[in-house]
Structure 1
Amino acid sequence: MTDHPDVPPAGGNGPRLAHIAAQAQVSEATVSRVLNGKAGVARGTRQRVLAALDLLGGERPVRLRRTSAGLVGLIVPELTNPIFPAFAQLIEQALAGHGYTPVLCTQLPGGATEDELVEQLEARGVTGIIFLSGLHSDSTTDPARYTRLTDRGVPYVLINGYHEDIAAPFVSPDDRAAARMAVRHLAELGHRAIGLAVGPARYVPSRRKAEGFATALTDTLGLRREQAERLIRHTLFGVEGGHAAAVSLLDAGCTAVVCGSDLMALGVVRAARQRGLDVPARVSVIGFDDSQLIAFTDPPLTTVRQPVRAMATAAVDALIEEIRARADGDRGPDRHTEFVFQPELVVRGSTAPAAPPAGPAAPARFSGPAKGGGIRR
């Protein structure tokens, strides 16, 4: 096997690699990438190489006639969390409206890493890549992995997360606002001991939720900042992480728990019930995402809805703008941009007025309907 399977051999009838490179005024390596349908070559450069091939009487490789320019890579962490398939479906619909087809890549335990998936997508010649809750959301990640994509001319967009040193479009929910509206809802129900179960602090969405939560406790309940921060538990993502955080928060006397995801909220519900605490009569729980089927849990989960459709559409629109800008030889109007979308509180059955203190004469803290401003389902 040769290094350039689609390039005419030196002794063949077609033009030599060096001849094409000289005619197009590019390197032989660039010619090879173009003729093999690889990503990382600017549209104008690619057109010059193909024009040089035509001028020299060469035949365009079958690989180029069977182009994969209509493919867009979509990298997600996993599919067990229902919010990720929901994003993937809506991104697929939005891409189809622009004539593109997604190539879905998931990071399974022990499987390919994000960097390896990017290499595979580049080898397939995708037009661009959308990252959903990828390494960009980890504040400790090396931004060079994304800078290299930029240098190779591959357009990309990042959903859920932000990094100051990555020059690309970001699409995020307002995580701080999500935590604030959850705290306000619980405070209006009479809760004063409110905890937060959220993912590891190095992840930007988790850190932003924690910041919004602490600010809300300070503004709404008058707690000092250090008091508010003592009610935050950074834990693993998922049901198990929510369960572990709930054990600690319930030990601390919390009567309500705000969670970083719906799955974590299910873990909190399980931990409360294992202690014989009814949800929501004794413990109120709020999730985040409003993922599929969460309205049918027992009890139906009050949650902060992530604006998935709007975010998916915005991510695809931003990617299309990046693709068109690169086709015109431009880097785009302002690549280092974050589009932030407002979440929405959805009040269901896992939150209720705070239970009165023990004792026959204890007055109820709340009566009447919740004033949290959320929509009821």
Structure 2
Amino acid sequence: MLLTMRDDEKLGRITLAQVAHEAGVSVSTVSKVLNGRQDVAAPTRVRVERLLDEHAYRRTTSASREAPLIELVFHELESVWALELIRGVEKAAKAGGASVVLTESGTRQAPGPEWIEGVLQRRPRGVVLVFSALPAEVKQRLRSRSIPFVIIDPAGDPEPDVPSVGSANWNGGLVATRHLVQLGHRRIGIITGPDDMLCSLARLDGYRSALSMAGVPVDPDLVRYGDFHVEGGRERALELLDLRDPPTAIFAGSDLQALGVVEAARLRDLRVPADLSVVGYDDVPLAQWVSPALTTVHQPLRQMAEEAVQMLVRLRLQEPVTTRLELATSLVVRESTAVPGG
């Protein structure tokens, strides 16, 4: 049952009339903002949403107004790890009696501005976003409608006020490189991700730490930044393999890049792992079926997605949540690594 304004006043809560008075608009305008109507001038909408957020206004909605949906938002759906996240969200959503809406929007940093209008109209139970950050306006508008949100964050480190689920990227880089060192490799190349993504830098730091611990100097010539895709992995690997003193092993920052490394080795008439050891990252299902089966760092993508949905449930119930949940990574040794010259 909806609380009346008089009920709100008794409980010490901000009312729509009070918000309207502070914003200098009518109650109906505030109601339009809450309902996601687009017939409100942008400056007015921003002013009302800021006040709703400042006063922590939470609208009590009936079950009939809230759609039994979890919205999952990517900047890029055509990736093998996206499918793993989708499966994890679907499993957790189904257990809670909800369906999943998939949306593709924006860049790898944040969703596009057009997305927010649609989600406010759909009124899902919550939103899971696969991005590094959220613009302040997006956070404010979601919170003003009491739509909880969580970032699944294989890409970086979101702001402290954004609930997120990630994984231990530094440790992933460490265990991958340590494995190659323990096999006897000393010329170890790395193709991490884009240089503006914190996960790329964290995996690179793990690589450097493993070499440092083993007393192996870090050669800047062996460090490359990729794009997490097959083509980028192939091109960066060809650069490494064409060095005067090429690596005997390459750690790739994604399984797709690792496949590109394997293709580059083929183009240079090198055998994996006899002539070149290769380690990937993510442990997507494809990794165990390629030939040779790929040694890789397991990133628990499905578990990350399930945890994100469970975090949404707790946020909807206004239960306390851990703002940042970081799941462990681990090495899966298969057939693409061996001792040098082995």
Q: Smaller-chain TM-score range? A: 0.7 to 0.9
Partner residue, 1:97: 95
2-structure distance, mates of 1:169, 1:23: 29
Q: Pairwise mapping of residues 122-271 of structure 1 onto structure 2 (< 5 A)?
A: 122-132=120-130, 134-136=131-133, 145-160=138-153, 161-163=155-157, 165=159, 167-223=161-217, 227-252=218-243, 253-271=246-264
Partner residue, 2:119: 121
Structure 2 counterpart SS, 1:222: coil
Greater Cα shift, 99-108 or 86-95: 99-108
- Flag structure 1 segments of 5+ consecutive residues without an equivalent: 1-19, 51-63, 326-331, 357-377
Q: Is the 8 A contact 2:70 2:125 kept in 1?
A: yes
The 1:35/1:341 distance shift into structure 2, 3 A limit, reads: closer
Q: Is the 8 A contact 1:258 1:287 kept in 2?
A: yes
Partner residue, 1:328: none
Structure 2 counterpart SS, 1:287: strand
1:31 aligns with 2:31: yes
- Flag structure 2 segments of 5+ consecutive residues without an equivalent: 1-14, 22-26, 39-48
2-structure distance, mates of 1:312, 1:212: 24
Partner residue, 1:278: 271
Partner residue, 2:43: none
2-structure distance, mates of 1:45, 1:165: 22
Of the three residues 34, 38, 59, the one matched with 1:46 is: 59
Query: What's the CA shift string for 1:40-61, capped at 9, x where partnerless?
Result: 88997534xx8xxxxxxxxxxx
Q: Is the 8 A contact 1:73 1:126 kept in 2?
A: yes
1-structure distance, mates of 2:144, 2:223: 40
Residue 113 of structure 1 deviates from its aligned partner by: 5.4
Q: Provide the TM-score with structure 2 as the length reference.
A: 0.78
Structure 1 counterpart SS, 2:307: helix
Residue 29 of structure 1 deviates from its aligned partner by: 2.5
Greater Cα shift, 313-322 or 66-75: 66-75
Structure 1 counterpart SS, 2:128: strand
Partner residue, 1:88: 86
Residue 272 of structure 1 deviates from its aligned partner by: 0.9
Partner residue, 1:6: none
Q: Is the 8 A contact 1:75 1:114 kept in 2?
A: no
Q: Is the 8 A contact 2:169 2:199 kept in 1?
A: yes
1-structure distance, mates of 2:204, 2:136: 24
Of the three residues 347, 361, 371, the one matched with 2:333 is: 347
Q: Is the 8 A contact 2:57 2:144 kept in 1?
A: no
Structure 1 counterpart SS, 2:285: coil
Structure 1 counterpart SS, 2:297: strand
Of the three residues 32, 41, 65, the one matched with 1:67 is: 65
Letter in 2 for 1:86: E
Partner residue, 2:292: 299
Residue 322 of structure 1 deviates from its aligned partner by: 1.4
Query: What's the CA shift string for 1:193-241, capped at 9, x where partnerless?
Result: 1111111111111111111111111112432xxx354422112220011
Partner residue, 1:321: 314
1-structure distance, mates of 2:113, 2:335: 42
Q: Is the 8 A contact 1:70 1:127 kept in 2?
A: yes
Residue 100 of structure 1 deviates from its aligned partner by: 2.2
1-structure distance, mates of 2:63, 2:183: 64
Letter in 1 for 2:92: A
Greater Cα shift, 272-281 or 23-32: 23-32
| Higher gyration radius (CA) | 1
The 1:36/1:216 distance shift into structure 2, 3 A limit, reads: closer
How large is the Cα RMSD of the aligned pairs?
3.1
2-structure distance, mates of 1:318, 1:71: 15
Count of aligned residue pairs for this structure pair: 304
The 1:303/1:21 distance shift into structure 2, 3 A limit, reads: closer
Letter in 1 for 2:341: A
2-structure distance, mates of 1:183, 1:21: 57
Q: Is the 8 A contact 2:67 2:125 kept in 1?
A: yes
Letter in 1 for 2:327: F
1-structure distance, mates of 2:146, 2:221: 45
Structure 1 counterpart SS, 2:72: strand
The 1:23/1:277 distance shift into structure 2, 3 A limit, reads: closer
Percent identical residues: 33
Structure 2 counterpart SS, 1:149: helix
